[in-house]
Amino acid sequence: MPDPSVFTSTSPQRDPKRLPVLLRRAWYGLNQAFRQRVADLKITPDQFSILRWISEGDPQGLTQRAITDLMASDPNTITSTLARMEKAGFVQRRPHESDKRALRVRLLPKGRKVFEKARKAASELQHSILTALPEVQRDGFLEALQVIADACASATERPVKRQRS
């Protein structure tokens, strides 16, 4: 067991009340717990997210650009992830019907089946994690987290004001 003083220090390197540290710890723990629960499905958390976005999106499929934006990722990462998913038989990429530069990504039956199993695991994990909070605080926590996520996204869209030395 770590020394409890590590978690109460005011030192910036050890202060657990810093937003980046807390978000990173929460994301990493959630990511690893989810990986364990879907290991038998042979998908990654990012692949699950892509399957979810496609499943919830336009029935004709989503463009790779839309998936990239929804995932808050870069195009090369999404392209390589989709290539692996296509090879596994989860999705199909076809030329967009009106934009010849774009590819539309559709969910295949195998992808739908894997998604449904993974969605059940994700739902159970979310419920399990949220039980750390009293039930009356859960919705408020998720709403506050949405506000923080939106503020983080907005921060990347604003130009950074540099102070002159």
User: What pLDDT score does 72 carry?
Assistant: 86
Tokens 């090879």 sit on residue: 87
pTM (predicted TM-score) = 0.78
Question: Cα separation of 123 and 132, whole Å?
Answer: 15
User: What pLDDT score does 6 carry?
Assistant: 45
Per-residue tokens: 34: 């989810």
Return contacts of 51-57, CB within 8 angstroms, 24+ apart: 51/85, 51/90, 51/91, 51/107, 51/111, 51/114, 51/115, 51/118, 52/115, 52/119, 54/91, 54/105, 54/106, 54/107, 54/111, 55/107, 55/112, 55/115
User: What pLDDT score does 131 carry?
Assistant: 96
Domains and CATH numbers, the chain: 39-156 (1.10.10.10)
User: What pLDDT score does 42 carry?
Assistant: 93
**Residue-by-residue pLDDT tens, the chain, 165 positions:** 444 444 444 555 565 588 999 999 999 999 999 999 999 999 999 999 999 999 999 888 999 999 999 998 899 999 999 999 999 999 999 988 888 788 899 999 999 999 999 999 999 999 999 999 999 999 999 999 999 988 988 888 766 565 555
Question: Cα separation of 10 and 155, whole Å?
Answer: 26
User: What pLDDT score does 1 carry?
Assistant: 47
